[in-house]
Amino acid sequence: MKTLVRQEFQSISVQTLKKYVSNPEKVFSEFENFILENSTSSNIDECLSTYFQIKITNGKKVIVPRNYVGVISFGNNFQIEILPKIAVEDDPNFIKLKSIFLEMLKSVKDYQDIGKIFNEAYLEEKKLPLLEIFISMFLSELESLIKKGIKSDYLSVSQNSKFFKGKILISQNIKKNLIRKDRFYISYDEYNVNRPENRLIVSTLNLLLRLSTSWPNKKKIMKLLKYFDGIKASKFIKQDLNSVKIDRTTMHYSRVMELAELFLLGKGFTNFSGRNKVISILFPMEKLFESFIYLKLKEHLQGGTIDAQVTEKYIFEEPKRFNLRPDIRIFLNNKSFILDTKWKKLNNSLAGNFGVDGNDMSKMYTYGHKYETSENFLLYPKDKLSPKDTDGVVRKYISKENKNVTIYLLDLLNIDHSIKSLIKHLSVL
């Protein structure tokens, strides 16, 4: 499979695609339509969305990925991988960058345990295209499911039969068998494996068999299909997905169903969906960054406590409205700290406050008052063009009310050291 790799905010044009596909204009048009289907803007020349921007640069139309990373497959042996905007030296094949991305993905908690699926086995496959990694992940989870047992269920069957069992459907029997006394129109329950979950698995395997260009994955798909022999693919995907029941007897289906939905609906962990051949698996970098930093802080914090997405305070007390929800709160050495993560690259403009958003500063100031914290932190990823810092600290803003905000940089290329430095900084405040 031919793969174009781009980082966030790197543009994609028809010229870019020429090196990868024989029909770049057609693929670019498919990509553009895919974006417009999911955009609230009708302005084709300046289509701003959370995910991509379509704009004119030097007289040519380009598509710019924004804030979301992952993979988009066009179903014609071509895919685009979008990786985080992290400057990694000596990484021509993006192996280090892809490793960082997958490590961040492991930290995700809000996608119904999807982050837990990423273990070291998948990280070792980081040389593979991202799509093949996701396919491999699904197949591995399905193998685990099969070992635990494919579930059967009682399904209601209605048919005109020579043999009587179950109960007779009187109105249908009169209609069908008025002159055929040798038949019974009956309804009965049959115990078999043709339940929604298994139909969805067959549909997913059939889809992945077409999408995958990895022979090991294709071989494994064909092997797994044999376990579901006799089960037809789902005819009504959304209806079957809505019928999925995860309880204590089907808990081992949970992760497989999450991944099946990812592929079958042509979307990842976004509201971004495509028609026909286009499948997107996209992740919000803001959420990945927040989850990753929280996990690392929790891993290295000693002698303190940490909470995520605290919801104890409101701007107004009567009535209680406008909840204040900081990303992270830490208690350490009898002090409380509020930390918010921002997936944004700062600059060297002192006059422009390094690119820090005034609304973010106002929010941190409010957090300080409501959560009664004197020291609060805005955490940003460190970059080559980031402002100069001293052990992570760019600048500390001090207020008369002693509600201070520190701008702090975290080095994702050396994250454990960076997190330890941050905790050390907190411990001496």
Backbone angles phi, psi at 169, to 5 degrees: -95, 100
Cis peptide before 319 (omega within 30 of 0): yes
The helix/strand/coil state of 78 is strand
* Count of structural domains, the chain: 3
Are residues 330 and 271 located together in one domain of the fold? no
Q: Of 131, 164, 192, which residue is a domain's last?
A: 192
Comparing C-alpha atoms, which of 320, 374, 387, 317 is closest to residue 348?
387
53 Cβ neighbours under 8 A, 6+ residues apart: 46, 47, 63, 64, 66
Query: Angle at Cα 251 formed by Cα 247 and Cα 255, nearest 5°?
Result: 125
Are residues 380 and 353 located together in one domain of the fold? yes
- In this predicted model, what pLDDT tens digit does every residue of 86-123 receive, in sequence order? 988 888 788 888 888 888 887 876 444 454 555 544 55
Q: Are strands 328-332 and 304-308 parallel, antiparallel or unpaired?
A: antiparallel
Give the pLDDT band (50/70/90) at residue 143: very high
Are residues 177 and 58 located together in one domain of the fold? no
174 Cβ neighbours under 8 A, 6+ residues apart: none
Where would I find the H helices in 44-119?
Answer: 95-106
Whole-angstrom Cα Rg for the chain: 27
Size of the chain in residues: 429
In a domain? residue 374:
yes
Are residues 188 and 200 located together in one domain of the fold? no
Backbone angles phi, psi at 316, to 5 degrees: -115, 145
Are residues 174 and 204 located together in one domain of the fold? no
d(CA 96, CA 82): 14
Give the pLDDT band (50/70/90) at residue 271: very low
Are residues 241 and 160 located together in one domain of the fold? no
d(CA 267, CA 274): 7
Are residues 157 and 60 located together in one domain of the fold? no
Residue type, 172: Q
d(CA 186, CA 274): 42
Are residues 182 and 216 located together in one domain of the fold? no
Sheet holding 167-168, edge to edge: 153-161, 184-192, 167-168
Comparing C-alpha atoms, which of 287, 309, 298, 286 is closest to residue 419?
298
In the chain, the percentage of residues whose pLDDT exceeds 70 is 87
> What token pair was written down for 249?
């007897």
In a domain? residue 13:
yes
Q: Of 239, 256, 285, which residue is a domain's last?
A: 285
> What token pair was written down for 328?
């992270």
Are residues 188 and 206 located together in one domain of the fold? no
Are residues 72 and 206 located together in one domain of the fold? yes
In a domain? residue 371:
yes
In a domain? residue 290:
no
In this predicted structure, what is the pLDDT of residue 45?
47
- In this predicted model, what pLDDT tens digit does every residue of 176-206 receive, in sequence order? 887 787 887 778 666 568 889 999 999 999 9
Give the pLDDT band (50/70/90) at residue 211: confident
> What token pair was written down for 107?
């930290």
In a domain? residue 365:
yes
Are residues 184 and 321 located together in one domain of the fold? no
d(CA 25, CA 30): 9
Q: Of 135, 162, 192, which residue is a domain's last?
A: 192
Structural contact between residues 81 and 130, judged by C-beta atoms closer than 8 angstroms: yes
In a domain? residue 143:
yes
What's this model's pTM, rounded to 2 decimal places? 0.79
Are residues 220 and 276 located together in one domain of the fold? yes
In the chain, the percentage of residues whose pLDDT exceeds 90 is 52
In a domain? residue 174:
yes
Give the pLDDT band (50/70/90) at residue 77: confident
**pLDDT average, residue stretch 36-40:** 70
Structural domain containing residue 165 = 153-192
Residue 424 belongs to a domain with what CATH number? 3.40.1350
In a domain? residue 294:
no
